[in-house]
Amino acid sequence: MDTIFMYAATAVLFGLSFFKDRARTKAALLKGLRAVEGILPQLVVVLLLIAVMLAAFDAETITRFIGAGTGAVGVAIATALGSITLIPGFVAFPLAGELLRNGAGVTQIAAFVSSLMMVGVITLPMEMATFGKRAAVARNAFALVFSVIAALFVTWGVSL
């Protein structure tokens, strides 16, 4: 129902914009279409990546390693996977949704996504070269701890 409302509101606002200034509305529409055209190849890759991951790991495997019943071990696995994985956010969130639908636990997925966004094991050498070893390691260590805290906070929030 929310989607229908959003489409309807968009159509109404587009219509108002079109009647107010056709040239600017047309220019904005073309700019938006060019943006979609630029994002489309990445979006296709995202969909393929999610499909391959879900084909490789069935719901039983996902539940066994990062399911709700895995507790601290599952959170540690998800945090480690997120820390060493280099995936952009627009890939991580749809992937997280699919993992949840296939048996992953909320805490585990929150730990995965938060560590994915904040901890950079793969990019650590570049970060050390830019900011120095001590600052880079400290930032990543704090980010790792905060990822787990964020996951626990998300779990608490979901349980309300």
Token representation of residue 30? 């073309």
Identity of the amino acid at 8: A
Sequence-separated (6 or more) residues with CB below 8 Å from residue 71: none
Q: What string of DSSP letters covers the chain?
A: -HHHHHHHHHHHHHHHHHHH-HHHHHHHHHHHHHHHHHHHHHHHHHHHHHHHHHHHS-HHHHHHHHBGGGHHHHHHHHHHHHHH----HHHHHHHHHHHHHTTB-HHHHHHHHHHHHH--STTHHHHHHHH-HHHHHHHHHHHHHHHHHHHHHHHHHHH-
What single letter denotes the amino acid at residue 20? Answer: K
User: Which pLDDT score is estimated for 85?
Assistant: 82
Question: Structure pTM?
Answer: 0.69
CA distance 101 to 57: 13
Spell out the per-residue pLDDT of the chain, length 160, in tens: 688 999 999 999 999 999 999 999 999 999 999 988 888 887 787 778 777 777 777 778 888 889 988 989 999 999 998 898 877 787 788 888 988 988 899 999 999 999 999 998 888 988 999 999 999 999 999 999 999 999 999 989 988 8
Say what the pLDDT of residue 62 is: 84
